[in-house]
Structure 1
Amino acid sequence: MDSFFITGTDTDVGKTYVTAGLAVTLRKMGIDVGVMKPFAAGTAQKKGFKSEDIEILSNAAQVNDPESLVNPQFFPIPASPYTASKKLKIKPKISTVLTNFKKLSKLHDLILVEGMGGLMTPIQKNYHIASLIKDMKIPSVIVTSSRIGTINHTLMTCMMCKKYKIPIQGIIINDFENGYPTPQLKRDLEDLTGVKVLGSIPFIKDMSDTSLNRIFKKNLDIKSLLK
C-alpha cells in the first residue's frame, strides 16, 4: 500500500488538519496508519511534543512512535528549513529524514507525511520539499484552498510535481474561507490540471474522531485515494 506526501499550495492551507482527518478515516477503515512531519518549525510547546502539528497527527493516528522518529528535526523559529538552518547554524537532517521514513514504513501499513509550506519550500539551497518527495519515492496529495488565487498556486504546484516527476494522487480543496464556489473550482482544477479533485473539506470546528471520520467519509473519494 502506497504512503502519501501531503503537500500544500502554500503555507496555512490546512495541511495538518487534512492529514489528521485522513489519518482518522483510514484508521477507522482498519488500516495501520503512521504519520510523519520531517521538518517542523515555530514556538515549541511547553509540554509533550515540541510541535503542535506532531501532537495533532500522532493523536489522530493513535500512534506512540517516538517524537524523534516522527519529527526528525524541529526549528524553534517560524521559518523554512533553509532559513532556519542558516540563522541557527544547524544543518538540515535530510539523510535522517529518509532513514526515519523507511523505519516508519516497516512499522505501519501506510505513512502520511506532512510537508512544510509549499512544494518549493527550501531545505537547502538546491534541495526543496519537492526534492524530498522525489527521494521518498511516494505520490503526493495536494491540499489547496478555495480562496481567490488558488488556481494559480495549484497549477504551479502541479507543474512542479511534473518537473520533479512526482505522481499526484489527487487534490483536496480545504474550503475554510470565502472564495470560489467549490463545484466550480473542482471543475476548473480538473480541467486545467488533469488531476482528480478528491473532494472538498468544509471548515472543521470539532476535531474529534467521530467528527473527522464523518466529514472525510462524506466529502472525500477515499477509494480513488487508495487505488
Structure 2
Amino acid sequence: MEAGIFITGTDTGIGKTVVTAGLVAALQQQGYNIGAMKPFQSGAVESNGRLLAPDLEFLLKTTELVADGYDLMNPVRLKPPLAPSVAAEVEGVEVDIDEVESAYNSLQQQYQSLIVEGAGGLMVPLAENFLIPDLIKLFSLPVVVVARPNLGTINHTVLTVKVARQLGLEIIGVIINGLKEEEAGLAEETNPELIEELVDIPVLGIVPYREAIGDDPEEVDLGKLIIENVDLEPVIEYLD
C-alpha cells in the first residue's frame, strides 16, 4: 500500500473535510510531513475569475498546507453540486482519471504520506464506470470511515464497512464526527459499541461538534481537537 489514508463517509455533509483537516493538522503538529488531496470537488465556486474548491480552501485555512500545487491537490473542480460524474456531464466535460492519478503520484513525491478525501459516501460515481472504491484501489490506500453520531448511523456505517470489505478495501476504523454533547441521548451513547460489535473494527474516536468551525475555522485548533478525541496510532501505522 501507499503511505497514507483515504477518508470516506457514510453520507455527504457529515464532516469528512473537518476530519481530514483535523488529521492533517494533528499529524503536522506531531512532526509528520503530511500532504492532503481532494481529487474531486463538485459545488466549486468562482472567485475573482478563478474556480475554487471549498473543501481545499478549508484545508488551507486550518492546516499548514500552502496553496502551491493547488491543481495537484484538487485536479477536478466542477460547479454543479452533484455527484462528480453527473456534474461533469452537466458541464459537458470529461473527467480524466489519468490526470487525477498523475496529480496523486506527484503529491506522493512531495510528502511523507497523504490524506485523501473522497466525495460524498462510498458509492459515489466519479466518472463513467468509476466510483469511489475504484479511486481507493487506484491509490492503494486503506480507509477511514467518517460517520455521524445520532440515530441511523449504525445502519449507514455497517452498510458502508461491509460493502467496502466486499470490494476488497482495507478499513482502519471509524471516526464519529459532530457529537453535540448537550443533546446526546441513549443512541449516541450506545452507537459506537454497537458499530464495533457489528463490523469488528474500532471506533477510533468521537469528535465533538464545534459551532465555530463553520463560522471561523481558523479560530479552532482542529489538530488539538483530533489529538484529544481520536486514537491516532492505527492511522500512524500507515504513514511510512
Q: TM-score, normalised by structure 2?
A: 0.88
Change (3 A) 1:82 1:108: same
1:32-51 to 2 correspondence within 5 Å? 32-47=33-48, 50-51=52-53
Deviation at 1:209, TM superposition (A): 7.2
Corresponding position of 1:15: 16
**Is 2:235 the counterpart of 1:225?**
yes
- Structure 2: gaps spanning 5 or more residues: none
DSSP-derived class of the 1:152 partner: helix
1:72-221 to 2 correspondence within 5 Å? 72-176=75-179, 181-206=187-212, 207-208=217-218, 211-221=221-231
Corresponding position of 2:57: 55
Please give the per-residue CA displacement for 1:34-64, whole angstroms capped at 9, x wherever unaligned: 1100000114141576012111113333223
**Amino acid of the structure 2 residue aligned with 1:144:** A
Deviation at 1:93, TM superposition (A): 2.0
Of all paired residues, the percent bearing the same amino acid is 32
- For CA contacts below 8 A with separation 6 or more, give which structure has more relative contact order: 2
Q: TM-score, normalised by structure 1?
A: 0.93
Which one is further off, 37-46 or 13-22? 37-46
DSSP-derived class of the 1:78 partner: coil
> Does structure 2 conserve the Cα–Cα contact (< 8 Å) formed by 1:41 and 1:74?
yes
In the alignment, the residues of structure 2 paired with residue 146 and residue 110 of structure 1 have an alpha-carbon distance, to the nearest angstrom, of: 28
In the alignment, the residues of structure 2 paired with residue 81 and residue 150 of structure 1 have an alpha-carbon distance, to the nearest angstrom, of: 24
Please give the per-residue CA displacement for 1:52-98, whole angstroms capped at 9, x wherever unaligned: 21111133332233221110010011011111122112111211111
Deviation at 1:29, TM superposition (A): 0.2
**Amino acid of the structure 1 residue aligned with 2:97:** I
> Does structure 2 conserve the Cα–Cα contact (< 8 Å) formed by 1:7 and 1:114?
yes
Change (3 A) 1:49 1:154: same
Change (3 A) 1:210 1:51: closer
- Structure 1: gaps spanning 5 or more residues: none
